[in-house]
A and B are shown apart, each in its own frame.
Chain A
Amino acid sequence: MTVDAVAAARPVPEPGTTRRRVFDVGFRLVALATLCLALAALATLIYSVLADGAGRLSWEFLTSYPSRRASAAGIYPALVGSVFVIALTGAIALPVGVAAAVYLEEYGTHSRLARLIEINIANLAAVPSIIYGLLGLGLFVRMLSMGQSVLAGASTLALLVLPVVILSTREALRAVPGSLREGSYALGATKWQTIWYQVLPVALPGILTGLILALSRAIGETAPLITIGALTYVPFLPDSIWSPFTVLPIQTFNWVSRPQTAFLENAAAAIIVLLALLLSMNAVAIWLRDRVQRRRAS
């Protein structure tokens, strides 16, 4: 082959290729930068909260009641209220949500009624949380006369998280192998016996993971609880499900609405406690999910 032939055989880059390649690299950088910007915002948020509030954290802060003097105020009733409300919310949402999911997965599939229910669940998942608050106010607080109580708050939050619980329970049920159900039916078990003795025990870790994730969202909810009348100044511990109450995010909101810096520090400290709670709940949920996946792999 002559030199000219080799030169002719080598491909000549089309005009504009360099420009396109520059745009491509540039675009990739811009997209990555966008992601990093979002992450930086998160990091800044965490940093600013920590910087403002870490100094205020102490055992007294966790065990004191709110007070007009910022330095003496604490989150004890709010913390207790949050735990109480969330526990009750879980106790309501778990059986109802699992029952609904079992119906949709094991009994009602493909029927028109099931389809209507599924559409409703999908819509409810996107309704703003404050609307749930208005529902709770009109239904639980007024019509059912629960008053501005822990029960009213938990019922409202239970309705709020129900779509999430139903969705994750359905996934957990779907993951149970059909051969398990077949083996049970072949021995003469009824549908409910099969569900109760075989399907639910196997699906339980997945169901619990979904519940914990749903509750970790509920623990940060402020608007619906304010609307049903959770108080912002609660110098006492809720002693029963009928008692008035407050929760951590509302206490935070109360303090953030004051101009004095000392209260703002309190708010930051309360946020740190809230985020710590959230983190531990998510950690438990992730650990559960890992255990499920590891067991499935074996």
Chain B
Amino acid sequence: MSTTGTGTPRLSLTVPGRAEQAESQHPVKIAVERLNFYYGQKRALENITIDLRANVVSAFIGPSGCGKSTFLRTLNRMNDIIPGTRVEGTVRIDGVDIYDPALDVVGLRRRVGMVFQKSNPFPKSITENVAYGLRVNGLAGSRAELAERVEQSLRAAALWDEVKDRLDESALALSGGQQQRLCIARALAVRPKVLLMDEPASALDPIATQHIEELIYDLKKDYTIVIVTHNMQQAARVSDYTAFFWLGKLVEYDRTERIFTAPAEKLTEDYVTGRFG
């Protein structure tokens, strides 16, 4: 299924059965319908309609300023912190409209975790960083339980072996790649369903990037992952589905192989072949 720039879905009739089978194994986790987003008077996102599936990696690509990060942040209502922003349309996660005024935003953010472009560990110890989410959400039990959850999260982020002997040292002493994996561990500790990653490896060297990409591949069996990236090769390596954004509009959304080998829109083809952006 692909969408045109105006956002009306069009069924593609050329998909063989195997793809459909894969799709039924991955039900829709996040359903966005006609989402419009405004910074004051300026419209930054126009009529976005997209279904993001569970337990796969979906990548958002597009030139800078096209709105992909803004869109990512609407999925856990991080844009609420910025004054003067306005949302129209619906975003449903597991069927629940997250912009319902009665919704507990704090609980939403626990279930939809976020990792930022520039890693932002707290100026505290490694344990404290990972335990913070548990503490503020009232999920911390006894000291032993806490320690166990911290270890689980660090293992899940493939960081445990490197830091197990210095859990009480400052997180700021870690390397860039380790800090980013710490931020991932921190996000995983509260057991979210969805993990949003905003250019998670753009500030890292190639080896650290590779670690992050391997981690993302491992995580997708337990989490729904949405990743914003300006690096097309990364999107091609790491994701199952890719959405191409341009000037605040969703231009095309399809399985990753299709987007990179036979995209339906000329604009998409121009972007992925490097003719602009």
Contact = CB atoms under 8 A, between A and B. Distances in A.
B187 interface: yes
A189 interface: yes
Nearest to B132: A187
A283 interface: no
Contacts of A294: none
Interface residues on B, range: 20 to 34
A182 B78 contact: yes
A180 B120 contact: yes
Contacts of A198: 122
The CB with the most chain B CB atoms within 10 A, among A179, A185, A186, A190, is that of A186
Contact of B83 (A110, A179, A190): A110
A201 B125 CA distance: 14
B114 interface: yes
Contact of A183 (B106, B183, B190): B183
A188 B133 contact: yes
Nearest to B111: A188
B118 interface: yes
Given A110-B83, A188-B110, A189-B106, A183 B116 contact: yes
B76 interface: yes
Nearest to B134: A187
Contact of B113 (A181, A186, A202): A186
A105 to B, nearest CB: 13
A193 interface: yes
A183 B110 contact: no
Contacts of A185: 78, 81, 109
Contacts of B108: 188
A180 B122 contact: yes
Contacts, number: 66
A181 B114 CA distance: 13
B123 interface: yes
Contacts of A186: 76, 78, 109, 113-114, 116, 187
A183 B81 contact: no
A197 B120 contact: no
A227 interface: no
Interface in A254-298: none
A263 B194 CA distance: 78
A189 B136 contact: yes
B137 interface: yes
A188 B109 contact: yes
Contacts of B133: 187-189
Contact of A193 (B83, B118, B136): B136
A110 B132 CA distance: 30
A184 B132 contact: yes
A197 B110 CA distance: 17
Contacts of A202: 123
A187 B120 contact: no
B218 to A, nearest CB: 21
A245 to B, nearest CB: 42
Interface in A158-209: 177, 179-190, 193, 197-198, 201-202
Interface in B25-53: none
A202 B76 CA distance: 26
Interface in B108-149: 108-110, 113-114, 116, 118, 120-123, 132-133, 135-137
A185 B110 CA distance: 9
A172 to B, nearest CB: 15
A224 to B, nearest CB: 40
B106 A188 contact: yes
Contacts of B106: 188-190
B134 to A, nearest CB: 9
Contacts of A177: 120
Contacts of B81: 181-182, 185
A56 to B, nearest CB: 49
14 contacts: A110-B83, A180-B123, A183-B116, A184-B122, A184-B132, A187-B109, A187-B186, A187-B187, A188-B110, A188-B136, A189-B132, A189-B133, A190-B106, A198-B122
Given A186-B78, A188-B106, A189-B136, 18 more contacts: A180-B122, A182-B78, A184-B122, A185-B78, A186-B114, A187-B109, A187-B110, A188-B110, A188-B133, A188-B136, A188-B190, A189-B106, A190-B106, A190-B136, A197-B132, A198-B122, A201-B123, A202-B123
Q: Which 9 A-B pairs have the closest CB atoms?
A: A188-B110, A187-B133, A179-B120, A186-B114, A189-B136, A188-B109, A183-B120, A193-B136, A188-B106
Interface of B: 76, 78, 81, 83, 106-110, 113-114, 116, 118, 120-123, 132-133, 135-137, 183, 186-187, 190
